[in-house]
Amino acid sequence: MLIDGHNRVVDYLRVSVTERCNFRCQYCMPEKPFSWVPKENLLSYEDLFKFIKVSIDEGIKKVRITGGEPLLREGLDNFIKMIYDYKSDIDLALTTNGYLLPRVAQKLKDAGLKRINVSLDTLKPDVAAKIAQKDVLGKVLEGISKADEVGLKIKVNCVPMKGINDNEIIDILEFCKQKGYVVRFIEFMENHHAKDGAKGLSSEEIQNIISKKYNFKMVPRDTSSPAQYFELEDGYKFGVIEPHKDDFCAACNRIRLTAEGYLIPCLYFEDAMSIKDAVQNNEIDKAVEILKEVLRTKPEKNKWSEEDSSETSTRAFYETGG
Ligand SMILES: Nc1nc2c(ncn2[C@@H]2O[C@H](COP(=O)(O)OP(=O)(O)OP(=O)(O)O)[C@@H](O)[C@H]2O)c(=O)[nH]1
Ligand SMILES: C[S@@+](CC[C@H](N)C(=O)[O-])C[C@H]1O[C@@H](n2cnc3c(N)ncnc32)[C@H](O)[C@@H]1O
Ligand code: SF4
Ligand code: SF4
């Protein structure tokens, strides 16, 4: 079992396979970065897998593939199969913007992927084009349908932004409810890379909007997920991810591995340690040492919840994988 310096069990590894993305979401990567990490600096799937294997041996029970846009990296289905074949009973999931799902959903399912979380911020094509800076909605909706059809379990992530998609919270909730998908609304996390002036909604504001149409009650927190869930009277559950809440990090169970081999203890801070040399040289004991050191130094909490609420992370979500 892996325990961090604040006595939290860490059993969730998020693996970013690329920082590149085919969208330019205002809250994440509004502009193409000055330069991408050169392909030769990325860890191969084989090397990423060496670390995943040892992490599973040490106590990781949930592996999520993310990015940037993970479906941009060739051969992702084989990578998923490597993990599935090693331990088929781990929670093996993917976070994606959905755009490329129509053509790969079946391959991912066949490889052993169990579920996907898809970003869907709006149901209006023009608003989607404004947020992602590309005409994306048709393909995203088609991708979600395809994933559903092949039997992948689906969660939808939506980041409500003031003046952009905050008038669609009920529509997105109802769309997901009708389709049988779980939806989670995410509080926008202030970061240096987002578009200037971008403003999100707080959990309270999101709940207030939903309460104008629906009664709901809070359900006890499942600590394996970052979301707080709420139940409507008909039993449908939606979630809110509330990183500005003081106690949000108390149940943190995750670490992140980037495509370049940096192991990141916390989404908010810049600190990271590289496992690249260790895995490339097959020094697996060294990789385990680095893993334990990262856990020892994992911060207790982020600073988004600071009182003046002006805290901004320097981390790019597209590097960390969100
Ligand atoms: N601040 C903070 N936000 C997080 C953390 N983990 C997830 N989030 C936010 O929640 C978003 C959705 O995460 P997903 O990639 O869908 O994964 P998940 O919520 O862990 O997935 P489930 O296992 O389905 O609950 C992330 O992209 C972040 O914006 C975290 O450790 N800290
Ligand atoms: C970085 S993306 C990577 C995976 C994939 N490209 C996608 O969009 O789902 C993962 C998640 O991070 C969320 N995200 C990105 N920037 C964010 C921000 N500033 N605040 C809150 N969530 C953010 C996105 O909504 C998405 O759900
Ligand atoms: S949120 Fe996902 S889809 Fe949007 S820019 Fe970031 S990595 Fe790309
Ligand atoms: S902000 Fe850091 S400590 Fe808090 S939940 Fe996220 S990774 Fe964990």
Question: For residue 3, is it within any domain?
Answer: no
pLDDT of residue 261: 97
Question: For residue 7, is it within any domain?
Answer: no
Residue 182: give the domain boundaries.
12-320
Average pLDDT over residues 204-232: 94
Ligand 2 pocket test target in 73, 140, 172, 186 with most atoms within 8 Å of CB:
186
Question: For residue 149, is it within any domain?
Answer: yes
Regarding an ipTM greater than 0.95, the answer is: yes
Q: For 293-322, write each residue's pLDDT tens digit.
A: 999 999 999 998 877 666 888 889 999 999
Judged against a pLDDT cut of 90, whether residue 34 lies above it is answered with: no
Question: For residue 1, is it within any domain?
Answer: no
Side chain identity, residue 132: A
Judged against a pLDDT cut of 80, whether residue 18 lies above it is answered with: yes
Average pLDDT over residues 107-129: 98
Question: For residue 146, is it within any domain?
Answer: yes
Would you list which residues are annotated within the binding site for S-adenosyl-L-methionine?
A: 27, 68, 119, 189
Q: What is the CATH number of the domain that holds 195?
A: 3.20.20.70
Question: What is the C-alpha to C-alpha distance for residues 142 and 111, in angstroms, rounded to an integer?
Answer: 21
Average pLDDT over residues 248-268: 95
Question: For residue 58, is it within any domain?
Answer: yes
Question: For residue 170, is it within any domain?
Answer: yes
C-alpha dist (Å) from residue 247 to 184, 190, 314 = 18, 18, 22
Name residues contacting ligand 2 (CB within 6 A): 21, 27-28, 66-67, 69, 95-97, 119, 157, 159, 186, 188-189, 191, 194, 317-318, 321-322
Please give the tally of structural domains in the chain.
1
